[in-house]
Protein backbone atom coordinates (compact mmCIF):
# COMPACT_ATOMS: atom_id res chain seq x y z
CA UNK A 1 0.00 0.00 0.00
CA UNK A 2 2.88 2.38 0.65
CA UNK A 3 3.88 2.14 -3.02
CA UNK A 4 0.40 3.28 -4.13
CA UNK A 5 0.71 6.46 -2.05
CA UNK A 6 4.14 7.10 -3.60
CA UNK A 7 2.74 7.01 -7.18
CA UNK A 8 -0.68 8.60 -6.49
CA UNK A 9 0.53 12.22 -6.43
CA UNK A 10 2.63 11.98 -9.63
CA UNK A 11 -0.31 10.23 -11.35
CA UNK A 12 -2.70 13.00 -10.24
CA UNK A 13 -0.32 15.69 -11.58
CA UNK A 14 0.02 13.80 -14.88
CA UNK A 15 -3.77 13.50 -15.34
CA UNK A 16 -4.22 17.20 -14.55
CA UNK A 17 -1.49 18.14 -17.03
CA UNK A 18 -3.34 16.22 -19.79
CA UNK A 19 -6.93 17.17 -18.92
CA UNK A 20 -6.30 20.54 -17.30
CA UNK A 21 -9.29 22.31 -15.78
CA UNK A 22 -11.67 20.43 -18.15
CA UNK A 23 -11.81 17.75 -15.46
CA UNK A 24 -13.89 20.12 -13.27
CA UNK A 25 -16.64 20.30 -15.91
CA UNK A 26 -17.48 16.62 -15.42
CA UNK A 27 -18.62 17.27 -11.84
CA UNK A 28 -21.89 18.57 -10.42
CA UNK A 29 -21.64 21.63 -8.18
CA UNK A 30 -24.08 22.60 -5.41
CA UNK A 31 -25.50 26.10 -5.95
CA UNK A 32 -27.98 28.55 -4.53
CA UNK A 33 -30.54 30.13 -6.86
CA UNK A 34 -30.12 33.90 -6.85
CA UNK A 35 -33.10 34.59 -9.12
CA UNK A 36 -35.15 32.96 -11.87
CA UNK A 37 -35.11 35.18 -14.95
CA UNK A 38 -38.19 36.03 -17.04
CA UNK A 39 -37.05 33.51 -19.68
CA UNK A 40 -37.05 30.77 -16.96
CA UNK A 41 -33.25 30.51 -16.82
CA UNK A 42 -31.44 30.92 -13.50
CA UNK A 43 -28.77 33.07 -11.97
CA UNK A 44 -26.77 30.77 -9.69
CA UNK A 45 -24.22 31.21 -6.91
CA UNK A 46 -22.02 28.09 -6.70
CA UNK A 47 -20.71 26.95 -3.32
CA UNK A 48 -17.34 25.97 -4.83
CA UNK A 49 -14.90 28.88 -5.08
CA UNK A 50 -13.44 27.49 -8.33
CA UNK A 51 -16.80 27.90 -10.10
CA UNK A 52 -18.02 31.19 -8.53
CA UNK A 53 -16.18 33.49 -10.93
CA UNK A 54 -17.90 32.21 -14.08
CA UNK A 55 -20.82 34.67 -14.03
CA UNK A 56 -23.49 31.97 -13.96
CA UNK A 57 -26.57 33.77 -15.23
CA UNK A 58 -28.93 32.47 -17.90
CA UNK A 59 -28.47 28.84 -16.82
CA UNK A 60 -31.27 26.66 -18.28
CA UNK A 61 -33.20 24.24 -16.08
CA UNK A 62 -33.25 20.55 -17.04
CA UNK A 63 -36.08 18.87 -15.16
CA UNK A 64 -35.41 15.51 -16.77
CA UNK A 65 -39.09 15.11 -17.67
CA UNK A 66 -40.42 16.26 -21.06
CA UNK A 67 -43.17 18.86 -20.82
CA UNK A 68 -42.40 19.88 -17.24
CA UNK A 69 -41.42 23.44 -16.37
CA UNK A 70 -40.81 24.84 -12.91
CA UNK A 71 -40.64 28.16 -11.15
CA UNK A 72 -38.30 28.29 -8.18
CA UNK A 73 -37.71 30.73 -5.38
CA UNK A 74 -34.47 32.52 -4.55
CA UNK A 75 -32.35 30.48 -2.13
CA UNK A 76 -33.48 27.15 -3.65
CA UNK A 77 -30.69 24.58 -3.84
CA UNK A 78 -29.73 22.90 -7.11
CA UNK A 79 -26.81 21.15 -8.76
CA UNK A 80 -24.94 22.82 -11.61
CA UNK A 81 -23.60 20.65 -14.43
CA UNK A 82 -22.02 21.21 -17.82
CA UNK A 83 -23.42 19.31 -20.79
CA UNK A 84 -20.70 17.24 -22.51
CA UNK A 85 -18.22 18.86 -20.08
CA UNK A 86 -18.52 22.08 -22.11
CA UNK A 87 -18.18 25.21 -19.95
CA UNK A 88 -20.37 27.11 -22.45
CA UNK A 89 -23.30 24.71 -21.81
CA UNK A 90 -24.20 24.90 -18.11
CA UNK A 91 -27.49 23.53 -16.78
CA UNK A 92 -29.33 23.30 -13.44
CA UNK A 93 -30.84 20.00 -12.29
CA UNK A 94 -31.41 17.70 -9.32
CA UNK A 95 -33.04 19.98 -6.76
CA UNK A 96 -32.66 19.56 -3.02
CA UNK A 97 -34.82 20.87 -0.20
CA UNK A 98 -37.55 23.43 -0.68
CA UNK A 99 -37.93 26.23 -3.16
CA UNK A 100 -40.45 25.05 -5.75
CA UNK A 101 -43.12 27.70 -6.28
CA UNK A 102 -44.84 26.35 -9.41
CA UNK A 103 -44.81 23.28 -11.62
CA UNK A 104 -46.48 22.99 -15.02
CA UNK A 105 -47.02 19.66 -16.77
CA UNK A 106 -47.87 19.89 -20.47
CA UNK A 107 -48.89 16.73 -22.28
CA UNK A 108 -50.29 16.26 -25.78
CA UNK A 109 -52.53 13.32 -24.91
CA UNK A 110 -53.24 13.01 -21.18
CA UNK A 111 -51.80 13.18 -17.68
CA UNK A 112 -52.59 10.24 -15.40
CA UNK A 113 -52.22 10.28 -11.65
CA UNK A 114 -52.65 6.77 -10.26
CA UNK A 115 -52.52 7.00 -6.49
CA UNK A 116 -54.77 5.96 -3.62
CA UNK A 117 -54.60 9.50 -2.25
CA UNK A 118 -53.93 12.92 -3.75
CA UNK A 119 -52.98 15.71 -1.34
CA UNK A 120 -53.61 19.21 -2.63
CA UNK A 121 -52.06 20.81 0.46
CA UNK A 122 -54.14 23.67 1.79
CA UNK A 123 -56.33 23.80 -1.32
CA UNK A 124 -60.00 24.10 -0.47
CA UNK A 125 -61.94 22.07 -3.03
CA UNK A 126 -64.24 19.11 -3.13
CA UNK A 127 -64.08 16.48 -5.84
CA UNK A 128 -67.23 14.86 -7.19
CA UNK A 129 -67.24 11.73 -9.26
CA UNK A 130 -69.46 11.53 -12.29
CA UNK A 131 -72.85 10.32 -11.12
CA UNK A 132 -72.61 11.75 -7.60
CA UNK A 133 -74.91 14.48 -6.37
CA UNK A 134 -74.24 17.70 -4.53
CA UNK A 135 -76.71 19.42 -2.23
CA UNK A 136 -76.91 23.19 -2.65
CA UNK A 137 -78.81 24.78 0.20
CA UNK A 138 -79.74 28.45 0.05
CA UNK A 139 -82.26 31.04 -1.00
CA UNK A 140 -83.22 31.01 -4.65
CA UNK A 141 -85.49 33.22 -6.78
CA UNK A 142 -89.10 32.00 -6.88
CA UNK A 143 -91.15 31.90 -10.06
CA UNK A 144 -93.14 34.89 -8.80
CA UNK A 145 -91.79 38.42 -9.17
CA UNK A 146 -89.57 39.65 -6.32
CA UNK A 147 -89.92 36.58 -4.07
CA UNK A 148 -87.26 34.24 -2.73
CA UNK A 149 -87.65 30.67 -1.53
CA UNK A 150 -85.42 28.69 0.83
CA UNK A 151 -84.72 25.36 -0.82
CA UNK A 152 -82.40 22.41 -1.14
CA UNK A 153 -81.30 21.80 -4.72
CA UNK A 154 -79.88 18.38 -5.62
CA UNK A 155 -77.57 18.56 -8.60
CA UNK A 156 -76.41 15.33 -10.26
CA UNK A 157 -73.03 15.70 -11.96
CA UNK A 158 -73.71 13.00 -14.56
CA UNK A 159 -77.14 14.27 -15.53
CA UNK A 160 -76.25 17.97 -15.61
CA UNK A 161 -77.19 19.64 -18.88
CA UNK A 162 -74.22 19.25 -21.23
CA UNK A 163 -72.42 17.05 -18.70
CA UNK A 164 -70.22 14.23 -19.93
CA UNK A 165 -71.25 10.60 -19.57
CA UNK A 166 -69.87 8.87 -16.51
CA UNK A 167 -66.60 7.07 -17.29
CA UNK A 168 -66.46 3.37 -16.49
CA UNK A 169 -64.24 2.39 -13.56
CA UNK A 170 -63.54 5.86 -12.12
CA UNK A 171 -60.84 5.74 -9.47
CA UNK A 172 -61.56 9.19 -8.02
CA UNK A 173 -62.31 8.86 -4.33
CA UNK A 174 -64.50 11.43 -2.58
> In 49-83, which positions are buried (b, 16+ CB within 10 angstroms) versus exposed (e)?
eebeeeebeebebeeeeeeeebebeeebbbbbbbe
pLDDT at 69: 93
User: Does residue 93 have a pLDDT over 70?
Assistant: yes
Task: Report yes or no on 173 lying in a domain.
Answer: no
Cβ atoms of 31 and 74 closer than 8 Å: no
The string of pLDDT tens digits covering residues 67-90 is: 999 999 999 999 999 999 888 899
Domain range for 145: 114-166
Task: Report yes or no on 10 lying in a domain.
Answer: no
Shared domain check, 31 and 100:
yes
Cβ atoms of 72 and 43 closer than 8 Å: no
Task: Report yes or no on 58 lying in a domain.
Answer: yes
CATH number, residue 64: 2.40.50
Single out the residue of 139, 61, 137, 140 nearest to residue 101, CA to CA. Answer: 61
Number of separate domains in the chain: 2
Shared domain check, 101 and 39:
yes
Task: Report yes or no on 44 lying in a domain.
Answer: yes
Task: Report yes or no on 174 lying in a domain.
Answer: no
Task: Report yes or no on 66 lying in a domain.
Answer: yes
Question: Across 4-13, 16-25, 77-86, which has the greatest mean pLDDT?
Answer: 77-86
pLDDT at 174: 41
Pick from 54, 76, 105: which residue ends a domain? 105
Q: pTM for the full model?
A: 0.60
Amino acid sequence: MADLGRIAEPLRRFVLSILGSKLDYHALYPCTVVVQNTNDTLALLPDDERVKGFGLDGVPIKTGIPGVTVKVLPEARVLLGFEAADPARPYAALWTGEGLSEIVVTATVKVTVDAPSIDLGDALAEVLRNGETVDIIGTFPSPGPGTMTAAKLIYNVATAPGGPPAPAGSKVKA
